[in-house]
Amino acid sequence: MVAIRYEDIVKVPKALLHDHLDGGLRPATVVELAAEVGHELPTTDPEALGRWFVEAANSGSLERYLETFAHTVAVMQTAPALRRVARECALDLAADGVVYAEVRFAPEQHLEQHLTLDEVVEAVVAGFVEGSEQAAAAGTPIRIGTLLTAMRHAARSQEIAELAVRHRDTGVVGFDIAGAEAGFPPTRHLDAFEYLQRENFHFTIHAGEAFGLPSIWQAIQWCGADRLGHGVRIVDDITPGPPPVLGRLAAYVRDKRIPLELCPSSNVQTGAVASIVDHPIGLLRDLRFRVTVNTDNRLMSGTSMSREMALLVDAFGYGWKELQWFTINAMKSAFIPFDERLRIIDEVIKPAYGKLLA
């Protein structure tokens, strides 16, 4: 087999379902925006700041990992700042060969300078539109859908769900809950999920990352999640083989084709898995779960979609066939309409991988 080159992974089309806007800022942008608002950073050298984020996020605990977001959220409190961050996000993803991305953030965390929730969403969506237009002009087209996140420790999920539905025709394609998982089960937000189902809207839930099977079970069987954010702890319901034996919940997730938004580097940093080679993605792929590969937080992990793919190539010996499978899985699981998903699969993804596979 011909070795896969990193620059070819960058060129090939990729689809990304789980990426946080406030976890993907350019370090130089954090420095500039912090200077404008007088926010104190651990260092004002962009390179050193990039390293600081990765080291601080390498904490082995989700709670400590999340503390690093104080510095990004602090500089994302005005419409121009939100718009800039979203525009740069679109450009960075497109330059990395991402052709479809769903990017999420929590509007309730961006109200410190008195923006309304609607103004926050409008600024971010405008930034994505602007960035996508610039990316298309540069020859790297990207389609971006926005997901609105509610923080699971707070009590604004119904309000954020209504906000998402209000903006469904202008860029918002889904809803999510995030934040510390232990002690904050998805059923705390059942009203919001039931509302979204009545609205025929889409949602994913961060579940099975820092907490195990009960969280996944609630997300799917109580709340009706379309996808699982991480969901990596589903392996706790698989008895190692050979052959591996699936418990009832694992079988349900696999057989219903519920997409797993796996984020390899992030999982190592929060201690959910020991290392990339130990990541259950290998087992879950072999068992034909609907596995997708994601970045989670590019700044905190010092990563990109191409880098996550390359890490899996190194750890599991994957080739273009597997990278295409992950990409098509993600595209099939996207929250945009079916005909748009199919168009990207048939006209963008398959022709590009077809050339490499030939």
Ligand X SMILES: O=c1[nH]cnc2c1ncn2[C@H]1C[C@H](O)[C@@H](CO)O1
| Contacting residues for 279 by C-beta, under 8 A, at least 6 apart | 232, 262, 264, 267, 268, 273, 315
CA 169 to chain centre: 21
The answer to the question of whether 278 is labelled as a binding residue is: no
For ligand X, the closer CB: 205 or 345: 205
Q: Which does 129 bind (CB under 5 to 8 A by kind): ligand X, Zn ion, none?
A: none
Question: How many chain residues are in contact with Zn ion, going by CB under 5 A?
Answer: 1
The answer to the question of whether 179 is labelled as a binding residue is: yes
For residues 4-25, one letter each, b for 16 or more C-beta atoms within 10 angstroms of the residue's C-beta and e for the rest, the string is: beeeebbebbbbbbbbbbbbbb
- Which one of the spans 102-110, 195-203, 219-227, 350-358 is the region binding ligand X (CB under 6 A)? 102-110
Output phi, psi for 53, to 5 deg.
-60, -45
Is 347 part of the annotated catalytic residue set?
no
The answer to the question of whether 247 is labelled as a binding residue is: no
DSSP string, 125-165: HHHHHHHHHHHHHTT---EEEEEEEEETTSS-HHHHHHHHH
Structure tokens at 55: 């080291």
Q: Which residue is nearest to ligand X (CB)?
A: 178
CB of 57 to ligand X, least distance (A): 10
CA 352 to chain centre: 23
In whole angstroms, what is the distance from residue 273 CA to residue 16 CA?
A: 21
The answer to the question of whether 169 is labelled as a binding residue is: no
Binding to ligand X by residue 105, rule CB under 6 A? yes
For Zn ion, the closer CB: 22 or 296: 296
CB of 274 to ligand X, least distance (A): 17
The answer to the question of whether 296 is labelled as a binding residue is: yes
CA 289 to chain centre: 18
For ligand X, the closer CB: 294 or 333: 294
Binding to ligand X by residue 259, rule CB under 6 A? no
Q: Which amino acid is at 243?
A: P
Q: Which does 326 bind (CB under 5 to 8 A by kind): ligand X, Zn ion, none?
A: none
Q: Residue 137: how many CB atoms within 10 A of its CB?
A: 9
For Zn ion, the closer CB: 181 or 296: 296
The answer to the question of whether 18 is labelled as a binding residue is: yes
Binding to ligand X by residue 175, rule CB under 6 A? no
Give me the residue label for tokens 């050979």.
242
Annotated catalytic residues are: 209
- In the annotated binding site for substrate, the residues are 20, 22, 179
- Contacting positions for ligand X (CB under 6 A): 20, 22-23, 62, 66, 69, 73, 104-106, 109, 149, 178-179, 206, 209, 266, 296-297
- In the annotated binding site for Zn(2+), the residues are 18, 20, 206, 296
